[in-house]
């Protein structure tokens, strides 16, 4: 499916923008429940890893709290939400979180199987500050697991960033967070109540081991986003596999506009059986103008001025530019494919991308630039 066809499919799905989303690869399948316009409760969550289709999930959800708020809030169907669901990827885009004029958000869901009864689902939240002043936010990711469809007999081991849950069935599901500051586990509904009550609550740091009806959450504290800055938060849901070489997608840094963005609807996987494709995409550009993708082997930790644009990639590690002579589609989007050959030597490598598109209304008078996009190659 090319980019133009994807846009047509997305337009057709607008009417069901916040229905439940199901993605599948082999025997791996995950379903995230429909969004509510009012409820602060986590959404339904189903996780399957084998041909028996036994559900290991119950509820899941992202929460946030902006400095000065009096409680935590779930991501709800408020402020304009669209959804696109494909076979192995789904995304939900929140144009204006809770209609506060402060944050945009996108949740990207990916899945891949690593065997007949194992695989990984990826749950990634990216926030963008859409305002003209800094915004400081705490982010939470909550899960309630019922291994093999049962509760009250879960056993959880792990640490602050990893909750590995099993039960007498022998099935194991690990929830692994990247870069979080706090986490907590507890019997249902203790952890959920911290996020859904009407008070400010940080996670108490009650770490594994734990036995009982597992619920758990991860927290990223006091992340300050400058105007148009983006930041990604990632949790992997790992079913009966070690997860030793996980793929990663992260957005970081600030673009020149809240509308012009770089993103991907794929993950980078090294597969010994066949090549895989990574699609790097942009959106929010003017149709018909020229565009460019820049790829480097390292990021820039701070914005580096470069002939009128801010670079979020380290130009000294230049790998290539892509899109020469090509123009943005009528829908304001562009895409570049990158083939990942079946070579184990690529596992763990990171590449960093940035997008540029001509626009005389941009701050520099000639082109918009995006935030950075970091992609790590994982192994099936």
CATH number of the domain within which 184 lies: 2.70.98.40
**Helix or strand run (H / E) with residue 82:** strand 81-85
Q: Which residues contact 68 (CB under 8 A, 6 or more apart)?
A: none
- Least confident residue range of 1-15, 22-36, 120-134: 1-15
- Cβ burial, residue 168 (10 Å; 0-12/13-18/19+): exposed
Give yes or no: residues 10 and 55 share one domain: yes
Distance, CA of 347 to CA of 75 (rounded, Å)? 33
pLDDT in tens, 176-232: 999 999 999 999 999 999 999 999 999 999 999 999 999 999 999 999 999 999 999
Please tell me the pTM assigned to this model.
Answer: 0.94
Of 242, 273, 302, which residue constitutes the final position of a domain? 242
Chosen domain end from 192, 216, 242: 242
202 touches 180 (CB < 8 A): no
Are 80 and 15 part of one and the same domain?
yes
Kindly state the percentage of the chain with pLDDT values over 90.
93
Indicate whether 231 and 256 sit together in one domain.
no
> What confidence score (pLDDT) does residue 324 get?
86
| 271 & 342 share domain | yes
Question: Which residues on neighbouring strands pair with residue 57, listed in sequence order?
Answer: 145
User: Domain range holding 32?
Assistant: 1-242
138 strand-pairing partners: 65
Cβ neighbour number for residue 124 with a 10 Å cutoff: 23
Same domain (yes/no): 39, 57: yes
Residue that finishes a domain, picked among 224, 242, 260: 242
């Amino acid at each position: 499916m090319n980019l133009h066809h994807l846009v047509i499919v997305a337009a057709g799905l607008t009417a069901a923008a916040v229905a439940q989303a199901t993605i599948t690869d082999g025997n791996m399948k995950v379903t995230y429940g429909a969004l509510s316009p009012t409820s602060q409760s986590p959404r339904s969550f189903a996780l399957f890893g084998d041909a028996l289709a036994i559900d290991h999930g119950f509820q899941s959800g992202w929460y946030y709290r902006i400095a000065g708020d009096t409680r935590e809030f779930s991501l709800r169907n408020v402020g304009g939400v669209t959804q696109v669901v494909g076979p192995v990827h789904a995304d939900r885009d929140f144009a204006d979180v809770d209609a506060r004029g402060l944050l945009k958000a996108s949740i990207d869901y990916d899945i891949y199987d690593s065997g007949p009864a194992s695989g990984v689902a990826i749950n990634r939240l990216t926030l963008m500050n859409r305002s003209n002043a800094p915004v400081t936010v705490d982010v939470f990711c909550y899960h309630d697991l019922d291994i093999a469809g049962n509760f009250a007999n879960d056993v959880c081991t792990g640490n602050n960033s990893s909750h590995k849950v099993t039960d007498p069935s022998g099935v194991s599901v690990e929830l692994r967070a990247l870069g979080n500051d706090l986490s907590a586990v507890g019997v249902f509904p203790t952890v959920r109540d911290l996020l859904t009550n009407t008070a400010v609550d940080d996670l108490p740091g009650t770490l594994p081991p734990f036995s009982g009806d597992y619920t758990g959450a991860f927290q990223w504290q006091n992340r300050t986003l400058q105007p148009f800055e983006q930041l990604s938060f990632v949790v992997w849901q790992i079913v009966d596999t070690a997860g030793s070489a996980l793929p990663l997608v992260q957005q970081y840094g600030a673009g020149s506009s809240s509308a012009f963005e770089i993103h991907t609807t794929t993950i980078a996987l090294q597969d010994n059986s066949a090549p895989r494709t990574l699609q790097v995409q942009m959106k929010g550009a003017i149709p018909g103008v020229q565009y460019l993708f820049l790829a480097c082997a390292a990021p820039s930790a701070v914005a580096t001025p470069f002939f009128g644009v801010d670079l979020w990639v380290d130009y000294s590690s230049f790998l290539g530019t892509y899109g020469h002579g090509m123009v943005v589609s009528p829908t304001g989007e562009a895409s570049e494919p990158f083939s990942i050959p079946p070579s184990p030597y690529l596992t763990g490598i990171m590449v960093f991308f940035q997008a540029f598109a001509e626009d005389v209304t941009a701050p520099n008078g000639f082109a918009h630039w995006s935030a950075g996009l970091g992609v790590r190659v994982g192994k099936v």
